[in-house]
Amino acid sequence: MKNEQFNKPDLKDARKRSKIESIVSEFHYNNLISNIGENKKYIIQTHGCQANEADTEKIKGLLESQGFTPALDETEADLIIINTCAIRANAENKVFGEIGRFKRLKMKKPDLVIAIGGCMPQEEVVVEKLLKTYRQVDIIFGTHNLHKLLDYLAIVMIEKRRVVEVLSFEGDLVENVPTVRDNRYKAWVNIMYGCDEFCTYCIVPYTRGKERSRKPEHILEEIQSLVNDGYQEITLLGQNVNSYGLDFTSRAYRFSDLLKDVSALNIPRIRFTTSHPKDFSLALIEALAKGKNLMPFIHLPVQSGSNRILKMMNRKYTKESYIELINTIRNLIPGVSITTDIIVGFPSETEAEFQETMDLVRTCQFEGAYTFVFSKRTGTPAALMEDLTPTEEKKDRLYRLNDLINEGFLRGNERFLDTNVKVLVEGPSKSNKDFLCGYTEHNKLVNFRGNPENIGTIIDLHITEAKTWSLKGEVLHE
């Protein structure tokens, strides 16, 4: 295609896996792009999971390093970036709606640059659709080449060419991409990228590529600099943090080792997400139980309570082994709060199998869950499975499940009534401006009257009221 830089995704390539340990390279600027953002304003929309939120902080870092400044709203922006999510159809539909809306802005301001990044461009069907019906988009880039965004902007802004550059192989692990963090007290730290699990419903192994673990030295260095900057909490990020280090060929260093080393740094709170039940090892549970700054909160997606469905999902554990794991975690980490993810209406799931999921929720006493109706993702094995359950029935299962989950949410909050908790103060409460809010060690939201000077610090509160979605507390001493 003339006048375009062109590289489209290929799901078959994205499925390939190699055993080679990733090469690490340092981020460097291309000389051509100096200050292309001078007097230009940008806006970024972020959809989806924490991996995207962390990527957005890198996009901001890249842009601001070249003079771009944040726009107050879309009409003021010279550059609009959408960092997209591909996990379910409704996440994608939202993005298509937004791109449609931006067409009018571009008609008024022809120099407006629109860029689409993240997981959606990694899908062939999406790129085809964008090329066919959304000509207003100037840059389509994927998850593997985010660090090249400034080069693409230079092509569009200086050479006036459109860029479609999506890679279906992972490339190097690029360290030291400039970053502008959204929060001054809590930070995301990527420990690995990609996923090799290939759960049959999930598009992530295709959009995020093979599992690549960052070297411990780089992770610890990043966290040490966050400690030096006064950060109070870090969340270690990976699609499946439990398989951290499995791709190292030159050393035996696993997630439990990393947690011990991170825990030895002077950071008050450490969290991590997400875990796969299949490799949640005893060594990991023991490490968690010992580390004083490792928070007693575990998000452990179960997806279904039926062994037949778990098998069809390729989850590699059974209902029984999951329950055993939960019991071991609860025995070794007393009082731990456990949440989960559940999909209802997986192809061929019966009412009886759904009831098994409900029973599992009762047994495991989850204190919260993200619940979803199965969404067909083109290119995944589950998209080809016969799926005859009517949508209305799937929705009904979701509503019934949510009612049960909400009971667990309330129970999880009620157990802190009349106790003292430690809260990292985040800022004004969203529900009442006269209140502040923050999260406890068990990740419970607390609203309370307090001194805004405490924002960014950890304080002691007494819990006076427990509701389904939040707690109310009083400051003990400042």
Task: State the residues that interact with ligand 5AD by CB under 6 A.
Answer: 87-88, 201-202, 301, 303, 341, 343, 372, 374-375, 377
Binding of residue 237 to ligand SF4 (CB under 6 A): no
| 336/60 Cα distance (integer angstroms) | 35
CB 435 within 8 A of CB 373: no
The residue (of 239 and 339) whose beta carbon lies closer to ligand SF4 is: 239
Q: What is the smallest separation between the CB atom of 207 and ligand SF4, expressed in angstroms?
A: 9
> What beta strand segments (E) does 149-232 contain?
162-165, 173-175, 186-190, 192-193, 212-213
Q: What is the smallest separation between the CB atom of 89 and ligand 5AD, expressed in angstroms?
A: 8
Q: Binding to ligand SF4 (CB under 6 A): which residues in 266-325? A: 276
CB 347 within 8 A of CB 200: no
88 binds, among ligand SF4, ligand 5AD, none (CB under 5 to 8 A by kind): ligand 5AD
The residue (of 205 and 450) whose beta carbon lies closer to ligand SF4 is: 205
Which residue of 48, 117, 205, 209 would you call a contact of ligand SF4, by CB under 6 A? 205
The residue (of 65 and 375) whose beta carbon lies closer to ligand 5AD is: 375
Q: What is the smallest separation between the CB atom of 1 and ligand 5AD, expressed in angstroms?
A: 32
The residue (of 48 and 268) whose beta carbon lies closer to ligand 5AD is: 48
374 binds, among ligand 5AD, ligand SF4, none (CB under 5 to 8 A by kind): ligand 5AD
Binding string to ligand SF4 for residues 172 to 201, with x set by CB under 6 A, is what? Answer: -----------------------x-xxx--
| 405/368 Cα distance (integer angstroms) | 6
Mapped onto helix, strand or coil, the DSSP state of residue 186 is: strand
276 binds, among ligand SF4, ligand 5AD, none (CB under 5 to 8 A by kind): ligand SF4
Binding string to ligand SF4 for residues 389 to 428, with x set by CB under 6 A, is what? Answer: ----------------------------------------
Q: Per-residue DSSP letters for 55-80?
A: HHHHHHHHHHHTT-EE-SSGGG-SEE
Q: Per-residue DSSP letters for 427-477?
A: EE-SS-TTSEEEEETT--EEEEE--GGGTTSEEEEEEEEE-SS-EEEEEEE
3-state secondary structure 313-353: CCCCCCHHHHHHHHHHHHHHCCCCEEEEEEEECCCCCCHHH
377 binds, among ligand SF4, ligand 5AD, none (CB under 5 to 8 A by kind): ligand 5AD
Residue closest to 86 by CA, chosen among 375, 395, 371, 381: 375
Mapped onto helix, strand or coil, the DSSP state of residue 383 is: helix
- Interface with ligand SF4: number of residues (CB under 6 A): 10
